[in-house]
């Protein structure tokens, strides 16, 4: 043993950190190198070297002469129990100096942002250090140059979907509206029109369902980039979970911290959305910004500002962007939860009589804007023709089949959770408001999205009349105990529906 190097035996902990590369060494060994929690060490095994964050443990966790390693590190280095490794003190990432610079209120250069994003992707920053970067950007907003550099860095530090088509269309909603499953209608309409639309979607984090959760009711959503390309070649489109791909991986890490902090920095919102579009080579993109009292964007002034920023960023990235400001004052569609939303989608594509017309209207408006971006003036007529002729439904069946699902499934054949609870009107009146946040909360309490069949079916929307004793909604849950909990929570939520 040299003075500045320790030889230690590996102990695999079988625990994941969820991101950063971390190792634990015994407090006695730490004293030899004067190491403290969150210092960096270099671990060497043969010709392989990795820099990790160090934590200090007592002998009950890691005995003296042992280094405890988490799953992320064993994936990065080929380590087995009892392997011998050498460790020495390492410098902290240079990007920490850049994060401090941002905390002090200064703008960052392209080189500095590139380095920060590289360190995020390669797990060089601890959770605390990543949190400081996000907080710095929230307190000292990025200028447009920084936003462009951040977007490109996030997109470039991951895989890219390269397609032969020169024009690639895409869409995105900034979210916050229960039941807003426009993707599963817009994609087949536009693909039926002959346009290429490789749609990567997210799973729910705080909502009752994400697009990927709903599509998963109908077909698989987890594919390799190669398989995704094969599906697009055959169907002109796909609807897959972006988390299964290595597209813009830094974005997921940033989002996870933002959710825990409950902050949404404008620059990072812009970069997050546009980086994912950039990573699939999108050229023509429509952005949906819902406005409402219980949404991410509560007033039109803020929405107009965000619209301008999206268009400005799109221009700098070489994309054509259309932004629509939509009504977000209530849930859209009737179903809330993966299976219930999948039923809504199929009803629209099949043109069933009981389809949710509000969701259909919004989907047609979005398709109209996409057609306009592509230079077509009669977009609404084209969209309606593709929907009413059954061509959009046939395209969706093709996509479902290619993604391993049952293309012939009918809406009523999609199973729902076993237990039901009807919310009944206690008086007659007209519905004045429906609280998006409370509706989403009830659906999640019922078990959505983990239980695909759980959620809410809404019978009434704002402006509709309601008679005493009529059903306002039905809640579906997998267990009686969840239904009981829903009943308890609804007792204290009188303003979930005001009428």
Residues involved in catalysis: 264
**CA–CA dist 309, 206 (Å, integer):** 25
Strand 335-336 and strand 455-458: the pairing is antiparallel
Contact assessment for residue 403 and residue 221, using Cβ atoms and an 8 Å cutoff: yes
Q: Quick check: helix, strand or coil at residue 19?
A: coil
Helix intervals (H) in 193-299: 211-218, 225-235, 249-261, 266-279
Which strand (E) or helix (H) includes residue 310? helix 300-316
Which helix (H) or strand (E) segment holds residue 320: the answer is strand 320-327
DSSP H/E element including 358? helix 357-373
Neighbours of 488 (CB within 10 A): 10
- d(Cα 197, Cα 284) in Å, to the nearest integer? 10
Nearest to 273 by CA among 324, 239, 313, 245: 313
Q: Dig out the tokens for 177 from the structure.
A: 């509206």
What gap in Å lies between CA 449 and CA 434, rounded to an integer?
A: 21
> In the chain, how long is the greatest CA-to-CA distance?
83
Q: CB-hemisphere CA count at 13 Å for 399?
A: 32
Say what angle helices 391-402 and 338-350 make with each other, to 10 degrees: 140
Q: Distance between the two ends of the chain, CA-based, in angstroms? A: 77
Closest CA to 421 of 392, 384, 447: 447
The H helix count followed by the E strand count for the chain is: 18, 19
Pairing of strands 84-90, 6-12: antiparallel
Residue appearing with tokens 């003190």: 89
Q: How many CB atoms lie within 10 A of CB 107?
A: 13
DSSP letter string over 386-441? Answer: HHHTSHHHHHHHHHHHHTTS-TT--GGGS---SEEEEEE-SS-EE--EE-HHHHHH
Six-digit token string for 472: 């306002």
Helices (H), 20-170: 27-32, 71-76, 95-103, 110-121, 127-139, 144-156
What is the C-alpha R_g of the chain? 25
């Amino acid at each position: 043993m040299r003075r500045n190097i320790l030889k230690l035996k590996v102990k695999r902990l079988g625990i994941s950190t969820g991101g950063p590369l971390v190792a634990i060494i015994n407090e006695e060994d730490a004293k030899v190198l004067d190491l403290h929690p969150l210092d960096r060490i270099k671990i060497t095994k043969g010709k392989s070297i990795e820099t990790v964050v160090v934590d200090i443990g007592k002998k009950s966790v890691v005995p003296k002469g042992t280094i405890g390693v988490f799953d992320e590190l064993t994936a990065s280095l080929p380590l087995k129990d009892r392997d011998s490794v050498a460790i020495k003190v390492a410098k902290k990432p240079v990007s920490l100096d850049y994060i401090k610079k941002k905390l002090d209120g200064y703008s960052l250069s392209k080189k500095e942002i590139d380095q920060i994003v590289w360190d995020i992707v390669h797990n060089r920053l601890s959770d605390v250090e990543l949190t400081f970067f996000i907080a710095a950007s929230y307190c000292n907003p990025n200028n447009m140059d920084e936003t462009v550099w951040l977007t490109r860095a996030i997109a470039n530090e991951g895989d890219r979907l390269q397609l032969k088509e020169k024009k690639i269309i895409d869409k995105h909603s900034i979210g916050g509206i229960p039941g807003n499953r426009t993707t599963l209608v817009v994609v087949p309409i536009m693909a039926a029109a002959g346009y290429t639309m490789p749609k990567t979607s997210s799973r729910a984090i705080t909502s009752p369902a994400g697009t990927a959760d709903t599509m998963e009711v109908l077909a698989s959503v987890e594919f390799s980039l190669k398989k995704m390309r094969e599906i697009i070649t055959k169907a002109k489109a796909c609807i897959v979970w972006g988390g299964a791909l290595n597209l813009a991986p830094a974005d997921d890490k940033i989002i996870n911290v933002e959710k825990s902090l409950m902050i949404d920095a404008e620059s990072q919102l812009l970069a997050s959305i546009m980086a994912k579009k950039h990573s699939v080579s999108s050229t023509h993109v429509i952005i949906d910004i819902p406005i409402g009292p219980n949404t991410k964007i509560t007033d039109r002034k803020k929405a107009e500002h965000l619209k301008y920023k999206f268009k400005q960023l799109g221009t700098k990235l070489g994309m054509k962007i259309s932004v629509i400001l939509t009504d977000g004052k209530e849930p859209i569609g009737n179903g809330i939860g993966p299976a219930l939303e999948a039923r809504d989608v199929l009803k629209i594509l099949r043109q069933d009589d009981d389809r949710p017309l509000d969701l259909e209207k919004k989907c047609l408006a979005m398709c109209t804007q996409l057609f306009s971006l592509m230079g077509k003036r009669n977009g609404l007529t084209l969209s309606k023709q593709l929907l009413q002729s059954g061509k959009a439904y046939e395209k969706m069946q093709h996509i479902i089949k290619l993604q391993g699902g049952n293309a012939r499934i009918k809406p009523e054949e999609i199973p729902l959770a076993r237990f039901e609870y009807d919310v009944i009107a206690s008086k007659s009146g007209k519905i004045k408001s429906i609280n998006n946040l409370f509706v989403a909360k009830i659906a999640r309490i019922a078990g959505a999205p983990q239980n695909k069949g759980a959620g809410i079916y809404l019978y009434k929307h704002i402006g509709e009349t309601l008679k005493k004793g009529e059903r306002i909604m039905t809640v579906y849950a997998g267990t009686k105990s969840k239904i009981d909990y829903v009943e308890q929570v609804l007792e204290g939520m009188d303003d979930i529906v005001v009428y």
